[in-house]
Structure 1
Amino acid sequence: MTSNDPAHRAAPPVEGPNRLDLPAGHPGANLPALRGHNAALVLGLLRAAGEDGVSRLELAEHTGLTPQAVSKITARLRADGLAAEAGRRASTGGKPRTVLRLVPGARHAIGLHLDRDELTAVLADLAGEAVAVRRAPLAFEAGATEVLATAEREVTALRAAAGGPPVLGAGVACPGPLDHNRGVLHRVTGAPAWEGFPLREALADRLGLPVVLDKDTNAAALGLARSTRRGSFAYLHLGTGLGAGLVLDGALHRGPRTGAGEFGHQVVQLDGPPCDCGRRGCIEALCLAAVARGDLAEAARVLGVGAANLVELLDIDRVLLGGRTVLASPKDFLGGVARVLAAEAGTRGRTGPPVQVAPARGGARVVADGAAQLVLAPLFGASGSALAARRETS
């Protein structure tokens, strides 16, 4: 894998962490209603309202747009099949308001989780709900040729089986470290052959779709942030490796170099056992070693120590656990981590509500579902979360 390989040239820069390019000729390129900040705000409110729908007046109130601007935007959304009228609300003294709702099946997005030994592909609608799912064995360490071929085959089969509306793009989640902005992998732990590989560009060429690339834990955290909406949390993923996705004050935190969340490679035992990253005493090495010898209580304790470090550093509200190892023994890990956090809080004399420890929603698909959100999230404005939060407390 050398720099002379056409598939290995540097990927073009991306403007902003969530930009999704729609090239000429792609179905999404002819959807002006999907572009622009104001349209995103309206779409976000429509998605948050769900089947209940939302009136044009409510859209204007929540976005700060004029009623005329809202009417123009919603007219474009309806023309593109993205929104539809959903009846009228009973009058409260004036003219009954026409309610609009999102049409989730109008467009699809692909979420692709490239784990070290398995590929999971999800076809999601605009509401983020899975329409179709495929899984296949994968050898990530085998390198680009095999991984790209498997991804292309599974995505092609997924789209053929589902049929239906245009696909906006593919969100791809895989082990890090990587550069989210440039779509390039760095020296992935245990798979150094991926160093410098422009995976986003290579997959876009093979799939014929715009591609957004991120770490598996970031993708999962982005998807989970939709349902939590408030506060700060860490998603800890224990599977073939150990990593974290961080949501701080409601926003995914990647860091300027996509370096945030390398949770598994914090050193907690000086001169401890070697880790695949090249260090010694990493929490990942200690945790996986305990799992390998069947000592789940110790694995949970080690994971809890790492979680306590995050709580101490970031003052987060929740710790969400996921990954196949956790899913195989959820009570062991949830209970073990919670006990360590409670003990640490007592030692520190911390006041206020205890840090919640809970399983991440989505189970084995949490990363693939989150990967689809890498495509969908830029289409929806933040105002949707405000409306959803208001309705939750009303």
Structure 2
Amino acid sequence: MATDSAFNLSLLRDRNDAAVLRAVRARGGAGVSRVELAAETGLTAQAISKIAARLLDEGLLAEAGRERVAGATGKPRTLLRLVPDARVALGAQLGREELRLLRVDLAGTVTGQARATVDLRGEPGPVLDQLAQMASELTSDVTDGQVLGLGLAAPGPLDAREGVLHHVTGLPRWRGLRLREEMQARCGLPVVVEKNTTAGVLSQLGSDNRAFVYLGDGVGAGLVLGGRVQRGARTNAGEFGHQCVDRDGPLCACGARGCLEAVCLTALRAGRAEEAAQVLGVGVANLVRLLDVDEVSLGGGRMLDAVELFEDAIRAELASRVPDGTWQTVTLSRAPRLAIPLGAAGLAMAHLFH
């Protein structure tokens, strides 16, 4: 019983610390007083005082001057601000042809990045060794205690809970790889494994019902519904690219025919970009009608390289396939090019803020 009680107290402390850090970060560099933190978090003044003292000792917060509240008597209030460079996190995108790695501070600012060309059709070991070397070089100027961990976004299907890849489309040598364990052994950091499109949808704030649609080395989608990220029963939701759009279409790397991914990528390789955009638009319209999302964020190199073409095609398909466009409106937005590794880095530091 004593052990359970100690665990519960520790969990409560972590949640309260996270609530305070989240509130301070939301103010940016302006700073926030302890009184305001109590009002925003619902914690008592005594609890705020203890938490603030602990976070100041850990270097996560710093004093940011004083302010006098109009009409108030007594001493001016001391403001607290986040110390962005107190900790860093790494976010990686494991692409079929390229590795991208970012170093991100607590404010979400990219403070370093690296990239390398890879070929995932070969053995995993050399690629993971290269990623570990990149991580070491990117954090060579900070102490080990400052690095919160590595968020690693990978193509699926995968089990994010266990950090295990399954039948990754077109990559038989990666099937069954215990990716989290392999990377932890190589870089000596906590590692979070997530599906690439799920990391993408978490990279920025948006509607409570939104999708991140990716077109790069594959096609996929990340989903937030009702304000919660959707991972599915096996953490493998978002296989958007493997909906069938043509039963007699080209053979997909997954083994089926006519997948949206296969049709779209085949058209792009043949120089038929308009056809690819139209097919993707059909897929997005299907997604909107199935899940009633009201925002679709477009990401991935192939998408963003011709984003106006894809936006026009998606709008046209939505207009023709959604019955009442004046009621079921959908906002299209453009995701950052680094959305996936940014989202992965956010997952590596999530325990501090959530």
TM-score by length of structure 2 reads 0.93
Report what 2:298 is aligned to: 321
Report what 2:179 is aligned to: 199
Q: Which moved more, 1:101-110 or 1:46-55?
A: 46-55
More relative contact order, 1 or 2 (CA 8 Å, 6+ apart): 1
2:25 is the counterpart of 1:50: no
Report the 3-state secondary structure (helix = DSSP H, G, I; strand = E; otherwise coil) of the residue aligned with 2:25. Answer: helix
Q: 2:117 aligns with which of 137, 142, 146?
A: 137
Report the 3-state secondary structure (helix = DSSP H, G, I; strand = E; otherwise coil) of the residue aligned with 1:142. Answer: coil
Retained in 2: the 8 A contact 1:33–1:77? no
Retained in 2: the 8 A contact 1:34–1:379? no
Over 3 Å counting, the alpha-carbon distance change for 1:193 and 1:145 in structure 2 is same
Q: 2:249 aligns with which of 269, 272, 285?
A: 272
| CA apart distance, 1:352 | 2.2
Report what 1:76 is aligned to: 54
Measure, in 2, the Cα distance between the counterparts of 1:312 and 1:279.
Answer: 24
Measure, in 2, the Cα distance between the counterparts of 1:223 and 1:378.
Answer: 16
Retained in 2: the 8 A contact 1:34–1:40? no
| CA apart distance, 1:93 | 1.6
Retained in 2: the 8 A contact 1:318–1:355? yes
2:307 is the counterpart of 1:334: no
What percent of counterpart residues are identical?
49
Retained in 2: the 8 A contact 1:60–1:66? yes
- Counting only pairs closer than 5 Å after superposition, residues 97-246 of structure 1 correspond to structure 2 as 97-160=77-140, 162-163=141-142, 166-224=146-204, 227-228=205-206, 230-246=207-223
Measure, in 2, the Cα distance between the counterparts of 1:136 and 1:184.
Answer: 23
Retained in 2: the 8 A contact 1:175–1:188? yes
Unmatched tracts of structure 1, length 5 or more: 1-31, 382-394
Report what 1:379 is aligned to: 352
| CA apart distance, 1:343 | 2.0
| CA apart distance, 1:35 | 6.3
Retained in 1: the 8 A contact 2:209–2:227? yes
Report what 1:88 is aligned to: 66
Structural RMSD (CA):
1.7
Count of aligned residue pairs for this structure pair: 342
Letter matched to residue 156 of structure 2: G
Report what 1:300 is aligned to: 277
| CA apart distance, 1:350 | 4.2
Measure, in 2, the Cα distance between the counterparts of 1:357 and 1:149.
Answer: 38
Report what 2:324 is aligned to: 349
Unmatched tracts of structure 2, length 5 or more: 1-9
| CA apart distance, 1:208 | 0.5
Report what 1:392 is aligned to: none
Retained in 1: the 8 A contact 2:195–2:236? no
Retained in 2: the 8 A contact 1:35–1:379? no
| CA apart distance, 1:353 | 5.8
After superposition, give the CA deviation of every residue in 1:293-318 in whole Å (9 maximum; x if it has no partner).
11111111111111111100111111
Retained in 1: the 8 A contact 2:89–2:105? yes
| CA apart distance, 1:281 | 0.9
Measure, in 1, the Cα distance between the counterparts of 2:107 and 2:61.
Answer: 12
| CA apart distance, 1:173 | 0.6
Report the 3-state secondary structure (helix = DSSP H, G, I; strand = E; otherwise coil) of the residue aligned with 2:229. Answer: strand
| CA apart distance, 1:63 | 1.4
TM-score by length of structure 1 reads 0.83
